[in-house]
Structure 1
Amino acid sequence: MTTLDKPVVIGIAGGSGSGKTTIAHEIAEGITDQDRIVIITQDSYYKDNTGVPMEERMKINYDHPDAFDMPLLEAQISQLLHRKPIEMPTYDFTAHTRSEKTIHIEPADIIILEGILVLSNEDIRNLMDIKVYVDTDDDIRFIRRLERDMKERGRSLDSVINQYLGTVKPMYHQFIEPTKRYADIIVPEGGENNVAIDMLTTKLRSILIDKDK
């Protein structure tokens, strides 16, 4: 096996609950050698709010570009591109701040970067070889978000609804949906679109096979 001279970076953007994470993992599972692919999630790069009072933390607009530590994300993707390992941060959504825990990530031939606003930053876009936008109906995205936030993030029904109407939906239309214009590929219906997932997986397999010849 020969490593690629330069890792391939795929950016997968789209609204919350659109199916970005599902697509990323479906693609990764389609690559035989799992050591050759890594998934980086933008959710891990929310800013550290340790010094911010809890009352203020709970008002954070997680769907605004300013909520993310973009310089750190860009720096760590660049490190992976230079075949250097990173310590990826993690975010505690119940404490509304960055966790002390990090995840050790080794460099790989294929880097999937997924998140709502991964296509919004020009410097990060310029690191990508393939840009994907997942386009899923608002109602479906809301239902998925509701289930996820209540099961995985300990949120109440009212808090999820209020957050969605107050920030998630307006921020989607203001900041996230406009990044569709940067995409090379637009995938309707997210993780349900097996044809698109197969196409992307086949493309990546062919890149790896060509390099291994």
Structure 2
Amino acid sequence: MNKPYIIGIAGGSGSGKTFFLKCFLEHFTADEVCLVSQDDYYFPVAHNMTPEENREYNFDLPATIDHEHFQQDISKLFNNETIIKPEYTFNNPTVVPKMLEIKPAPILIVEGLFILHFRDIADMLDMKVFIDADEDIALQRRLKRDLIERGYSHDDVMYKWINHVVPAYKEYLLPYKDECDRIITNNSHVAQDIIAVTEEISAGLRKNIF
């Protein structure tokens, strides 16, 4: 296998990265694309935390990510090696993490908040995609996710948004926006808008890579 084409997908919380990825991956088979998510490389710190300590702990800092392990696994996939690692369970001590087996593929997707800030990773990317959304829309998406899916209180979500999420976005992601190859504004609640963008990008990749 030739060296994979590496796509970096970055976006702040609530920008719609997850939905973009879901739509994008549907254009390829499991043998054609593999995905490495920054979320799977958090240092495990929260299992012994009280709810108050968890509220105060800032997960939106590069130091919370095992950057070395993250970069090493990307390099292994780039060199056509399979990686095996435990999934990240969002600090839920009741969930037993599954072991993830990620096999190399012609297209390697790397996604996460800090992938452009980690310059050794950014320098590996062949294409950089920035998913953007207005702050008020991103906040509403974050509230919906954290209140319903993760069981956080409204006060806790707002505390983290104001003190952790927005400052991290402005310091560790926004400065790299202009160096990205594609900037995709995702303020719409119409799925077809994102589907159309992923169709366009995937068609270009399929033409040039396969």
Structure 2 length-normalised TM: 0.87
Which residue does 1:207 correspond to in 2?
A: 208
**Equivalent residue, structure 2, for 1:105:** 102
Task: Tell me if structure 2 keeps the 8 A contact 1:10–1:132.
Answer: yes
Alignment of 1:60-79 (within 5 A): 60-79=57-76
- Find the counterpart in structure 2 of residue 45 from structure 1: 41
Q: Are residue 80 (structure 1) and residue 81 (structure 2) matched?
A: no
How does 1:1-213 map onto structure 2 within 5 Å?
Answer: 3=1, 5-31=2-28, 33-49=29-45, 53-54=49-50, 56-95=53-92, 101-189=98-186, 192-209=193-210
| CA RMSD of superposed structures (Å) | 2.3
Q: Partners in 1 of 2:54 and 2:87 — Cα distance? A: 16
Deviation at 1:76, TM superposition (A): 0.3
Deviates more, 1:136-145 or 1:164-173: 164-173
CA distance in 2: counterparts of 1:91 and 1:125, whole angstroms: 22
Give distance in 2, aligned partners of 1:151 and 1:200: 32
Partners of 1:185 and 1:76 in 2: how far apart? 25
Cα shift at 1:16: 0.5
SS at match of 1:107: coil
8 Å CA contact retained: 2:47, 2:92: no
State the 1:151 CA deviation. 2.3
- Alpha-carbon distance between aligned partners in 2 of 1:180 and 1:104, rounded to the nearest angstrom: 31
Deviation by residue 1:44-87 (Cα, 9 ceiling, x = unmatched): 11112268644544422122111111111100011111111112
Which range is displaced more, 11-20 or 174-183? 174-183
Query: Runs ≥4 in structure 1, deviation > 3 angstroms?
Result: 50-58, 98-101, 190-195
**Does structure 2 conserve the Cα–Cα contact (< 8 Å) formed by 1:94 and 1:154?**
no
Measure how far apart 1:12 and its partner are: 0.5
Gap regions ≥5 residues in structure 1: none
- The amino acid across from 2:203 in the alignment is T
Relative to the length of structure 1, the TM-score reads 0.85
Instruction: Describe the superposition over 1:11-35 as per-residue Cα deviations: whole angstroms up to 9, x where unpaired.
Output: 000110101121122111012x332
**Which of 42-51 and 14-23 deviates more?**
42-51
CA distance 1:59–1:144, shift in 2 (3 Å): same
Q: Deviations over 1:103-124 (max 9, x none)?
A: 1111111111111121111100
Q: 1:52, 1:71 → 2: CA distance?
A: 24
Residue ranges of structure 2 left out of the alignment (5+ in a row): none
SS at match of 1:193: helix
Whichever residue aligns with residue 45 of structure 1, its letter is Y
